[in-house]
Structure 1
Amino acid sequence: MFPFPRSLVWPPPPSQQPMPPLLPVPDSATDPGRSYPKRHRSPSPPLSAVGPSRNQYHHRFATHSQNRRWINPDLKRRRLSSLKRQRRWIEAENAPDFSSSKGDPIVMMSYNILGDHNCRNHTELYDRIPAKFTEWESRKRLIFLEITERNPDIVCLQEVDQVQDVLDYMKGRGYDGIHKGRSGDYKDGCATFWKKTRFRLLEDDSIDFSTFNLNNNVAQVLVLEVQEGRQLVVGNIHVLFSPRRGDIKLGQIRMLLERANFLSRKWGDIPIILAGDFNSTPRSVLYEFLSSKEIDVSLHNRLKMSGMDPMDFVRWRREYIWTEEELLNAIGHLEGTKIKSPIKLWSSYASIKGPSITRGPNDEPLATTCHSKFRGTVDYLWYSAEIACLRVLDTLPIHLLKERGGLPSEEIGSDHLALVAEFAFVDYESSESDDEDTKSTDSSGVSTEHTALSGSY
């Protein structure tokens, strides 16, 4: 009956589809033998209940999630990477030949462990740090673990006030050591330890700066004999923090260098390693002095010598008037205003080039300490001639420290990073005797090769 095949027009459009037949409405009159229940309309809900909560789909899942706090996935905190795994050893690229040197290398650690008294009384520095990370019982476990993992031969600690805890642990690990506390109301001090199976203490000449009117900070200067028969001067210092007292800071560093130089000459010009928290940045005048550059204090304001303020590195274009007291504090005399270090020193970290993510323009670390008020480098390991740095344990990238709001953290027990370097004695005399026939000698009888080597380290 269709003009076209059924397959071309079937099914018809919805408008042309036939309506399904309506079910007959049961009627008791037509079906008296069947009874039907009465239908009752549900009562309308109150207006307060009308809304999404009445949605059947919502109710189906509400019981599962109504007690769970909703978290925005975009704001969810990223899982932080391990800090300790980021610290890697960096080898010296042009290390000299140590085939003629005596003994094994010496691993040295310098670590400001953050005194318990200072941590509890300067909470403004750690306002972004969870309280559990600033408690001594938690921090000391991490500090001791750091020392154990690095296994240094010599350990120089600063801000040591829980003395008995530290002494007990270090002695239990096979170290001998000496603690030098600050005078007055301060509780902390410096402590130097060495492995008793390898070193022997020959002399201790510690400094209490309060006896020289240079605040009550302390420093330690020791002479240690290595079992192989070599001697070494080891210095440990915590310089005054106050950024505005550049005269006292310079005076404390000057005295440490003078005392170390005196002991070195006393024991036959033995090498020197100086460790500590120097509370001065790599861009500061104090750093220039430590790196054996002559400075003229009259060209610098004592308020701007430590580099701990962003404007401290700006050079003054006029002379700054120093009082007699300030000159005596800084350079120890009133005969002129120039001063130069009595020792030629090199910074262990600056002497080994590292990645730009952890190093600054002069190859010093970008940061060795980080808290709410300051982030930068103030800790160093300095060394003199007749010894060379083989490798250093690199510091951390700045962004990792920022992620945690500073230090201490769940992995690091102090607001400073431990500096670790490996040193070796350089035996120039042996190398000279081996090549005596091939060396040239100048008119003064001094080997020109020896002079070149001495000036290259």
Structure 2
Amino acid sequence: MTTLPFPLCLDKLLKKYTTKTQLFEYLDSQLNLFHRELYDVPTAVREDLIDDSRKVSLKLMSYNMLAQSLAKSSMFPNAGKLTSWKYRNQYLVYELIIRDADIYCLQELDSQYLEDWINFFKNIMGFNCEFVKYGSKNHGCFIAYSLEKFEASPDFFSSISFDDEIVDTEDTNIYNGAKLTRTSNIGALMVLNYKARYLENIGYVSTHKKGVIIGTAHLFWHPFGTFERTRQNYILLKKMQLLKQRYVEKDYKSFFMGDFNAQPYLAPYEAMTLSKPVKFEDNKESFYYLNGSMEYDFQNEKNPFSKDPKETECFYIPENMDIAKSLEDCFNKLPMRAISMYGHSYSKVDSINSIVKNHMEPEVSNSCGGFTGLLDYIFMVVEESDLKVDINKKYQNLYDSHKVDIKKLLQVPTLKSLKSDNEIMMAHVSGSDHFSIFCEIDIYL
């Protein structure tokens, strides 16, 4: 049985260990965390270009840290005392330190501990940060960014309240969420400019600004929320398109990271990433949930279908088919698409845990309350004017298509490789029910 560290809440932990080195040395000696490999991805750049090109090295991390109000022993019966904040926060801090990212996108960050997290990032890590939450909800989304590489203030910052957003379409009757439920889901978008001094240090001198567009979100969690998640993903891509009209792609690469609460073989993921035209009904399992989510009684938790979708044929409600077709058309007209960093390159470093059904993504990033699945992603969002492009052909080499090279990917373990009864939130594995995901990329200027 793994021994837990001495109980210290986050505020006391930061008072006792006041530097990054002190924190790391203490936590490293106490936690005995499960080791995850940081894989080197084979480069996509020709050898003769590697040394002569000016490039930004960027490390990106996304992590759902599990709000403390959700860390209940009934949900995590094998986690024991780790559900207590005085133990769990130490694992979260350690995870953030050892990944050593330039940009952190965090979900389910507790508002009651917000000042402590700001203290950690500003005074320990040397980062600036922004936090957004919906109304009185007790957790939200958080973006922290390095002041070594980026200017102190964002060039642009905006929150996204999905309940207040509508899908733009010529069909004014398209379903826009009111029929289901208010989800209280939130996201954030930020534009960061590189510091002139940092660019000079890598050999780039210009008065022309360059930077990155960064977004994060935590989408609707409900098993029958498939349509709403798909709608929310459309909103994300549309928001990115509007920003890219101002911050052009050659100067600002765009990344959206977070907990999308959708597995890769379902409509929310496929509509963002697969070749167009998107046809929702081609994926029968996904379309079952897409269709049923528009009839689900969320208030009474009543399923309109009497059988499991894997055991029965879908039946299609004509009105809902029309609504799904309208959303499908919106995706097909939008000259944007998302490229998953893991889906693109994880098979190059971990063929065992690159799942064909998952479009070569890993198998699982979350385990909780009987559910296991992949929900977390790092997407690069790109402009794509050719709506019938063969993505597998065009995006096979991201250096050739977008002057980006994926250098490293953090291992996503299989659950069966853990000594924790397939649970992620265990003392020697993680302080959350999610794995963090991390990539290091080179952006060629």
Shorter-chain TM-score above 0.5: yes
* Matching residue's letter, 1:290: M
Q: Do the aligned partners of residues 316 and 379 (structure 1) sit closer, same or farther apart at CA in structure 2, a change above 3 Å counting? A: farther
Q: Is the 8 Å Cα contact of residues 347 and 381 (structure 1) preserved in structure 2? A: yes
1:140 paired residue number: 89
Could you say if the C-alpha distance between residues 202 and 133 of structure 1 is closer, same or farther in structure 2, counting changes exceeding 3 Å? same
Amino acid at match of 2:90: R
Task: Report the equivalent of 2:5.
Answer: none
Q: Report the equivalent of 1:381.
A: 378
| Residue deviations 1:80-125 (CA, integer Å, cap 9, x gap) | x96532x1122222422444543431000000000011224xx432
Report SS of the residue matched to 1:417. Answer: coil
* Residue of structure 2 in register with 1:393 after alignment: 410
Aligned partner of 1:222 in structure 2 is 190
CA contact (8 A) 1:88 1:394 kept: yes
SS of alignment partner, residue 42 of structure 2: coil
* C-alpha contact 1:190 1:237 (8 A) present in aligned 2: yes
Pairwise mapping of residues 149-298 of structure 1 onto structure 2 (< 5 A)? 149-161=98-110, 162-172=113-123, 173-184=125-136, 186-200=137-151, 201-212=154-165, 215-227=183-195, 228=199, 229-269=209-249, 270-293=252-275, 294-297=277-280
Determine if contact 2:38/2:408 at 8 Å carries over to the other structure: yes
Q: Give the 3-state SS of the residue equivalent to 1:344 in structure 2.
A: strand
- Provide the rounded CA distance (Å) in 1 between the counterparts of 2:408 and 2:311: 33
Contact 1:110 1:155 in 2 (8 A): yes
Aligned: 1:365 with 2:359: no
1:105 is paired with a residue whose SS is: strand
- Three-state SS of the structure 2 residue aligned to 1:258 is helix
**Which range moves more in the overlay, 396-405 or 143-152?**
396-405
Shift of 1:400: 3.2
CA contact (8 A) 2:59 2:440 kept: yes
Give the Å deviation of 1:168. Answer: 1.4
Q: Mark the CA change 1:101 to 1:379 in structure 2 (over 3 Å): closer, same or farther.
A: farther
Contact 2:60 2:102 in 1 (8 A): yes
Per-residue deviation, 1:397: 2.3
Partner of 1:124 in structure 2? Answer: 74
How far 1:137 sits from its partner (Å)? 1.9
Find 1:345's aligned residue among 333, 338, 349.
Answer: 338
Aligned-residue offset at 1:345: 2.2
The CA distance in 1 between the partners of 2:309 and 2:127, in whole Å, is: 40
Q: Deviations along 1:265-299, whole A, 9 cap, x unmatched?
A: 21122321110001111211221112143323466
- Deviation per CA, 1:61-80: give whole Å up to 9, x if none: xxxxxxxxxxxxxxxxxxxx
Residue 426 (1) aligns with residue 434 (2)? no
Please give the secondary structure, in 1, of the residue aligned with 2:236. Answer: helix
Counterpart of 2:434 in structure 1: which amino acid?
Answer: H
Rounded to whole Å, the distance in 1 between the matches of 2:114 and 2:105 is 14
Which of 8, 11, 34 is equivalent to 1:84? 34
Shift of 1:234: 0.6
1-structure distance, mates of 2:76, 2:41:
36
1:137-177 C-alpha deviation (Å, 9 max, x unpaired): 21111111111111100000000113222211111210101
What is the rounded CA distance, in whole Å, between the counterparts of 1:164 and 1:105 in structure 2? 30
The change in CA–CA distance for 1:149 and 1:255 in structure 2 (over 3 A counts) is same
The CA distance in 2 between the partners of 1:134 and 1:187, in whole Å, is: 17
- Give identity over the alignment, percent: 21
2 CA distance for matches of 1:107 and 1:426?
14
Rounded to whole Å, the distance in 2 between the matches of 1:364 and 1:107 is 19
Deviation at residue 321 of structure 1 after TM alignment? 2.9
Residues in 2 aligned to 1:167 and 1:334: alpha-carbon distance in whole angstroms: 39
Contact 1:369 1:376 in 2 (8 A): yes
Structure 2 counterpart of 1:224, which letter?
L
Alpha carbons of structure 1 residues 100 and 217: separation in structure 2 relative to 1, 3 Å: farther
CA contact (8 A) 2:214 2:256 kept: yes
Question: What are the residue-to-residue correspondences of 1:405-444 with 2, within 5 Å?
Answer: 405-411=422-428, 412-427=430-445
Structure 1 unaligned runs (5+)? 1-80, 428-457
1:291·1:346 contact (CA, 8 Å) conserved in 2?
A: yes
Distance (Å, rounded) in 1 between the aligned partners of 2:333 and 2:39: 31
The answer to whether the 8 Å contact 1:240/1:279 transfers is: yes
* RMSD, aligned α-carbons: 3.0
The question of whether the paired residues in 1 share the 8 Å contact of 2:43 and 2:407 is answered with no
**Structure 1: distance between partners of 2:334 and 2:312:** 21
Counterpart of 1:287 in 2: which secondary structure? helix
Give a deviation string over 1:159-213, Cα, whole Å, max 9, x none.
01132222111112101010001224x2111000001121122101221112235
User: 2:37 touches 2:411 (CA, 8 Å); kept in 1?
Assistant: yes
What residue ranges of structure 2 are gaps of 5+ in the alignment? 1-30, 166-176, 200-208, 294-306, 383-401
Question: What secondary structure does 1:349 align onto?
Answer: helix
Residue 84 of structure 1 aligns to which amino acid in structure 2? F
Using the size of structure 2 for normalisation, the TM-score is 0.68
